[in-house]
Amino acid sequence: QVQLVESGGGLVQPGGSLRLSCAASGISFSTYALNWYRQVPGKQREWVATINSGGSTTFADPVKGRFTISKASTENTVWLQMNSLKPEDTAVYYCNAQWRTIVYWGQGTQVTVSS
């Protein structure tokens, strides 16, 4: 059974940092691409970042230069380090694992950026 469990969300002031974690079970990091998405109520889910099976990373333009994504295959964990946070980064953040047409989602973790 595949499970993705996010943690690390919370309330942070503008300019602050948070690190989100996604603990995965039931999948191989050598096969799946790992992604972070975010969603604001009333809007479509938005792609944030990807780290592929080979370790290459890509980022959406709004977070480029501020967010980093990393993984540890031995721990089956993927992280999203978020720096210089802005109020517009407020959203529920979801972890996603994808291989071809097979996609798994976590339950999400709330990030609120506010003074």
C-beta atoms surrounding 83 within 10 Å = 14
Let me know how many helices (H) and strands (E) the chain has, helices first: 0, 11
Angle at 53 between CA 47 and CA 57, to 5 degrees: 45
Q: Which two tokens stand for residue 53?
A: 């099976």
Digits of tens for pLDDT over the chain (115 positions)?
999 999 999 999 999 999 999 999 999 888 999 999 999 999 999 999 999 999 999 999 999 999 999 999 888 999 999 999 999 999 999 999 999 999 999 999 999 999 9
Is the dihedral angle over the CA atoms 7, 12, 14, 18 positive or is it negative? negative
